[in-house]
Amino acid sequence: MDAIVAEGLRKRYKDVQALDGVSFAVREGEVFGLLGPNGAGKSTTVRVLTTLTQPDEGRAFVAGEDVVRHPNRVRGSIGYVAQDSGVDWEATARENLLLQGRIHGMAGKPLHARVDELLELVDLRDAANRVSRGYSGGMKRRLDIAIGLVHRPRVLFLDEPTTGLDPEARAAMWVEVERLAAAESLTILLTTHYLEEADRLAERVAIVSRGKVVVEGTPDDLKRDLAGESVTVELAEANGQVAEAERVLTALTDDVHVDGQSLRARVPNGAEAIPRILGALDDAGIPVAAVTTARPSLDDVYLHYTGRDFSSEDEAGK
């Protein structure tokens, strides 16, 4: 059974088409990633699925319930960890969890037992009675996740759970999410604009760009579908030779993309292609600062299906 189904979701905000026919399905017990740059439509999709906004067109079902026709049933089955924290920073972790439990109609020994269980699960037991304002960024995010789990939801939505965390805290959060998925037997929908995060955590991903799902599959399958290797050439000077360099590379391979002073090409074998590429650029009098080769990444998958560089589009969407 699918825990989440989105069918042709469309949503427009004035002049912005936030969703333009988004469709995908998430299996029960799966960690599924919505991967895309800032402004791609990921958070709007989650807001529809969590009943916080209604789509202009299309249908969506979560835990078997229609999000528009039966929003209260959906809310009882989900946990939602938004980008903006819902923690009361003047309360302790324990107080925050007790309050959330009471909102969901929990009380007495079952509630206190669940709070103790969650404090242990997210490694906040020793800090349980400290005011949460003094927590580190990683501790605050773990408390956010615990709050979303108090009522034992069947589906957990994590909207950009590691945004704003330093690399060490982000890596620690990945471990927490992996543990939670196993310990709580959850279906998790994770939105992220970190390529490595989707690669690490998601069993399957849907790559979103400009309000559309452009491709869906396991990270390994999506990368495997791109034959060959990626070669990136960085030109030595901003001397107007980018167009000429693109012409030279296109004569060697038909899959060339330009990003500023860098050109990226897909070739069958990077070690064999690099000498030919450097030789052709040298013959054309085009100086090169650096050249690198790599196996396909999710960045290459995004570039292949959209024709745009992920990092550049992510920065533009901020």
Contact 191, 50 (CB under 8 A): no
For 251, residues 6+ apart whose C-beta sits below 8 A from its C-beta are 280
* Domains in the chain, number: 2
Give yes or no for a contact between 20 and 211, defined as CB atoms under 8 angstroms apart. Answer: yes
**Residues whose CB is less than 8 angstroms from the CB of residue 175 and which lie 6 or more positions away in sequence, other chains included:** none
Q: Does residue 117 sit in the same domain as residue 200?
A: yes
The domain that holds 291 is classified in CATH as 3.30.70.980
Instruction: Give yes or no: residues 256 and 241 share one domain.
Output: yes
Strands 65-66 and 57-62: antiparallel
Report which of 241, 251, 243 is spatially closest to residue 279, judged by C-alpha positions.
251
Q: Residue 202 falls within a domain, yes or no?
A: yes
Q: What is the pLDDT of residues 197-237, one digit of tens each?
A: 999 999 999 999 999 999 999 999 999 998 789 999 999 97
> Are 216 and 240 within one domain?
no
Domain membership of residue 282 as a residue range = 227-295
Alpha-carbon torsion, ordered 75, 78, 82, 86, to 10 deg: 70
pLDDT digits (tens, 9 = 90+) for 114-166: 999 999 989 999 999 999 999 999 999 999 999 999 999 999 999 999 988 88
Strands (E) in the chain, as ranges, are 2-13, 16-27, 31-35, 57-62, 65-66, 78-81, 155-159, 187-192, 204-209, 212-217, 229-235, 256-259, 262-267, 288-294
Per-residue model confidence as pLDDT tens digits over 80-111: 999 888 899 999 999 999 999 999 999 999 99
Handedness of CA 318, 51, 31, 186 (dihedral sign): positive
In a domain, 309, yes or no: no
Residue 167: which pLDDT band, with cuts at 50, 70 and 90?
confident
Same domain for 93 and 147: yes
Strand order of the sheet with strand 288-294?
256-259, 262-267, 229-235, 288-294
46 and 163 in a common domain: yes
Q: Which residue has the tokens 């471990």?
A: 175
| pLDDT digits 0-9 by tens, 290-315 | 999 998 899 989 988 998 889 888 88
| Longest Cα–Cα distance in the chain | 79
pLDDT of residue 76: 92
Domain match, 169 and 259 both: no
Give burial (CB, 10 Å; 0-12/13-18/19+) of 209: buried
pLDDT mean across residues, the chain: 93
Residues 6+ away with beta carbon under 8 Å from 34: 24, 42, 45, 46, 189, 190, 191, 192, 205, 206, 208
**65 pairs with which residues across the strands?**
62
Q: What is the model's pTM?
A: 0.85
Q: Is 107 in the same domain as 192? A: yes
Give me 292's structure tokens: 């690198």
Judge whether residue 60 has pLDDT over 90: yes
Residue 89 within any structural domain of the chain: yes
Query: Does 262 fall in a domain?
Result: yes
